[in-house]
Structure 1
Amino acid sequence: MKYPQLGWFWPWLWLAGSGVPLDGGIPALAIVALAASASLPSDPMTIVTLRPQTSAAQSQLTRAQTRFGFQLFAALLPTHTHQNLFISPTSVAIALSMLYNGATGETQRAIAATLEITEISLDDVNQVNAALLQSLQTDSASVHSRLVNSLWADQHLPLQPTFVQRMQADYQARVSLLDFGNSNAVATINQWVKTQTEGRIPQIINQIQADEALFLLNAIYFKGQWATPFDPTQTRDHPFTLPNGQQRSYPFMAQTGTYRYYETPTFQAVSIPYGDGRFSFNIFLPSPTVGLAGFYRELNAENWRQWTQQMERRPGHLFLPRLRLASDVTLNEALQALGMGIAFDRNRANFAQLTPQPAYVSRVKHATLVEVNEEGTTAAGTTAIGLGVRSAALPAAPFTLVVDRPFFCVIQEHRTGTLLFMGAIVNPMAP
């Protein structure tokens, strides 16, 4: 029985260190991928009707976003050689898709190339993403998931009406205007992130930079109970080998059952289902002789598809550690390496579809958290894209100036810059 192809859900990838064999030859966890284990749900209320031409675009976009996810992961690896790395490609891709709607010219083409959607129309990208957003709103006894968006703009930044309408209609985005000069703006944005991730990610930005005038945010949340929970009485401490060769003891969960499984000379792979099987926790464990470095050389979207399709149901024993991993990374360099450099260039970026003000991407922040225990998995992710405004200043708020104390003044001729008079006035009516 073949493992079903990925449907709506692009993989969320996490890296948890190199693995070693346990007693009996079952290796410890090394690399984890959380993805859909089935196609669209059978509940007709959760299925969105697409135009005929958009149904084909859904398949195109899913494949494109899967490729983007693996490419982003690979671009981040050089700076995380001996660190945990876990990202939500879905969160990043949705946030960039929102940004894509505001770009034009070479900037828009660069974002399309990075997301690998050059052959898909903007309308199809938006409709498929709208369907994905609706499909991911799941709230059952065993699985709870959601994907939500928001737009936060400085109250003085002019926004293109068409862009705002697309964000609200296709991305169900909350659109809010804030006074970015007020210190409460940061707290307001972070509170939205904290609420949408059930408190797992309390903060995505710690300040608003002087030139930033807008943030596009995505938040994704998943909580799933295992189809068969692990028995807590079977959990035992066991050594886990770290990348530097040192061993550290962690609680390892144990379970015997029948799972979708696949192995090659270079790795073992297993799929552990949540609830009714629509979601699963997929583990890919490189062999001790290959290690993660060797596994990365094989890791790409095409191999991922083939590996998951070849999984078959087999009885087996699982031993894996409880997990609690958190990450907060800036994606600027990775996205520039993938071809989006122009979007970050304050002199060349073009976001005329978003605002008439000259704007550029100032930063892309991404934060994630995952917890795995005997009951199941909780995972959260958020992506914040900050836009800076260049050249033209934002309209200034009215001010009040009461000249009721000593002051300095100058009478200047501006054609030549000549200072005709200057002085310090300490008594305006003195003789």
Structure 2
Amino acid sequence: MKKQLLSRMSLVLGSIVIILLAGSLIQQPKEVKANLNNNSFTKQKPNNMNDQLVQANTDFGFKLFSQIFAKNAEKNIFVSPSSVAIALQMTYNGASGSTQQAMAQTLQLQGMSLAEINQSQLALMESLTKIDPKVRLDIANSLWLKQGFPFKPEFLQTTEKYYQAKATNLDFNNPNSVKIINDWVSQNTNSKIPTIIDSIDRSAVLFLINAIYFKGNWQKEFSKSATQEKPFTLLNGTRKQHPLMSQTGKYRYYENAQFQAISLPYGSGRLSMFVFLPKPNVKLTDFSRSLTAENWQQWMKQFSSREGEIVLPRFKLEYDITLNEALQALGMGVAFQNQANFSNMTSKEVQIDEVKHKTFVEVNEEGTEAAAVTSVGVRVASVPINPPFKMVVDRPFFCAIRDNQTGTILFMGSIVDPK
């Protein structure tokens, strides 16, 4: 049935926002129901968590990154695959028929029931927010509903139960609604992502926002006195002076003919930043071709403890991208078309209008600070003994922030210019 423009619906998801910071903890936002506690790090898998969900998120994350990198290889890229995955999984609860099948294919969720996905995601979020005193990870979800629009109670109840999403009715004709939504985003990203929307179209009926805040210290902080201005080589071969941090010690390290890689832990070591530096004769674009979930899993098994030196640039960047094209290329095209089926969300005929993603990251001697927001708009149609290594990250590189207990990748990016 052809959809009418006057009944257009817009759904926006601001996906998980994660910030990694050094320093003291800030006050917990009221909407966040999953809090950090002082439980010690354990290897035990969270109850009710299906390993298949983590694998699905990993597969999806690398495929999404590959799509983005293919058209933005010359720029800095920093995305949160967990952020996008959780945002779309919440949307997935409203999909049906071929739209649900297409989203399952894109998100790598085939073979998992909706109940398994939701229960596993809740268990994963609860596990991720129980890190250690030196690391903080908050997860917050919210739904902002247009007053009077007929959402199905089951959809709202599911997002509240499994994604802990607080639903708020707003008068979208009131200009102050934009500020209310953006204030929530800003609060849950420690002001690093101050806005996700600029205005509310008359067709908009729902904004679904998912935010993650992460803050942590390096397990071994870099000494500021060791940081020196040294050359960093850009993609075009030019060299620029940039602050490079350095330290020596024992690290989990892996090296092959293509790259050097190191794991730099935060806090107790449950979460780490993995830095992959292509060898001088290997371009970042060549390395990216081998960056698959399958290879990633194998690489993770190859890391072993080794003495060495790491030289790493400070870097800080903001990243903003619309993901429509990438998601359609991954098989979700029907969700953006007139025939999209979100009948488990509302009786109105709707389709995804726009998927936006914003991130922030800063790496320095104390730790890492990062944030990400994703918005989806839906509308009605119309260990061997080795000599010490030296790893000098003075040229474009890839990095990822990973939860070593569950295997969840929170962030990944390619840094071509650390300025």
Note the alpha carbon deviations across 1:124-159, whole angstroms, 9 max, x for none. Answer: 000000111211224643101122211112112111
Whole-Å separation in 2 of the counterparts to 1:138 and 1:248: 41
User: Could you tell me the TM-score, scaled by structure 1's length?
Assistant: 0.77
Moved more, 254-263 or 199-208: 199-208
Whole-Å separation in 1 of the counterparts to 2:130 and 2:233: 37
* 1:228 alignment partner AA: K
Q: Which residue of 1 aligns with 2:394?
A: none
Secondary structure, in 3 states, of the residue corresponding to 2:255?
Answer: strand
Q: Give the deviation of 1:217 after TM superposition.
A: 1.6
Asked whether 1:66 is paired with 2:58, we answer yes
CA contact under 8 A between 1:150 and 1:175: conserved in structure 2?
Answer: yes
Note the alpha carbon deviations across 1:91-120, whole angstroms, 9 max, x for none. Answer: 100001000000111111110010111100
Q: Which residue of 2 aligns with 1:248?
A: 240
* 1:125 alignment partner AA: I
Q: Which residue of 1 aligns with 2:156?
A: 164
Whole-Å separation in 2 of the counterparts to 1:159 and 1:109: 21
- Equivalent residues in 2 for 1:43-54 (5 A)? 48-50=46-48
- Equivalent residues in 2 for 1:104-115 (5 A)? 104-115=96-107
Whole-Å separation in 1 of the counterparts to 2:234 and 2:200: 37
Q: Which residue of 1 aligns with 2:69?
A: 77
Aligned residue among 194, 204, 212 for 1:202: 194
* 1:98 alignment partner AA: M
Q: Give the deviation of 1:181 after TM superposition.
A: 1.5
Q: Which residue of 2 aligns with 1:400?
A: none
Q: Which residue of 1 aligns with 2:147?
A: 155
Whole-Å separation in 2 of the counterparts to 1:48 and 1:139: 13
Identical residues among aligned pairs (%): 48
Q: Which residue of 2 aligns with 1:367?
A: 358
Q: Give the deviation of 1:247 after TM superposition.
A: 1.4
* 1:348 alignment partner AA: Q
Secondary structure, in 3 states, of the residue corresponding to 1:170?
Answer: helix
Secondary structure, in 3 states, of the residue corresponding to 1:245?
Answer: coil
CA contact under 8 A between 1:143 and 1:224: conserved in structure 2?
Answer: yes
Q: Give the deviation of 1:390 after TM superposition.
A: 4.2
Q: Which residue of 1 aligns with 2:387?
A: none
Whole-Å separation in 1 of the counterparts to 2:231 and 2:201: 45
Aligned CA RMSD, in angstroms, stands at 1.7
Q: Which residue of 1 aligns with 2:126?
A: 134
Where does structure 1 lack aligned partners over 5 or more consecutive residues? Answer: 1-9, 13-39, 392-431
Asked whether 1:41 is paired with 2:41, we answer yes
CA contact under 8 A between 1:235 and 1:252: conserved in structure 2?
Answer: yes
Where does structure 2 lack aligned partners over 5 or more consecutive residues? Answer: 1-15, 19-39, 383-419
* 2:222 alignment partner AA: F
Whole-Å separation in 2 of the counterparts to 1:219 and 1:365: 13
Asked whether 1:180 is paired with 2:178, we answer no
Q: Which 4+ runs in 1 deviate beyond 6 A?
A: none
Asked whether 1:86 is paired with 2:84, we answer no
- Equivalent residues in 2 for 1:14-413 (5 A)? 41-42=41-42, 48-50=46-48, 55=49, 58-138=50-130, 140-345=132-337, 347-390=338-381
Whole-Å separation in 2 of the counterparts to 1:259 and 1:326: 29
Whole-Å separation in 1 of the counterparts to 2:282 and 2:64: 23
CA contact under 8 A between 1:137 and 1:146: conserved in structure 2?
Answer: yes
Q: Give the deviation of 1:43 after TM superposition.
A: 8.9
CA contact under 8 A between 1:212 and 1:362: conserved in structure 2?
Answer: no
Note the alpha carbon deviations across 1:47-84, whole angstroms, 9 max, x for none. Answer: 7432xxxx5xx111111110000000011112212101
CA contact under 8 A between 1:133 and 1:148: conserved in structure 2?
Answer: no
Whole-Å separation in 2 of the counterparts to 1:219 and 1:310: 33
Q: Which residue of 2 aligns with 1:26?
A: none
* 1:49 alignment partner AA: N
Moved more, 147-156 or 122-131: 147-156
CA contact under 8 A between 2:131 and 2:270: conserved in structure 1?
Answer: no
Note the alpha carbon deviations across 1:369-418, whole angstroms, 9 max, x for none. Answer: 11111101111111111222346xxxxxxxxxxxxxxxxxxxxxxxxxxx
Secondary structure, in 3 states, of the residue corresponding to 1:131?
Answer: helix
Whole-Å separation in 2 of the counterparts to 1:157 and 1:249: 55
Moved more, 138-147 or 377-386: 138-147
Whole-Å separation in 2 of the counterparts to 1:178 and 1:239: 52
Paired residues, what number? Answer: 345
Structure number with higher relative contact order (C-alpha < 8 Å, ≥ 6 residues apart):
2
* 2:365 alignment partner AA: E
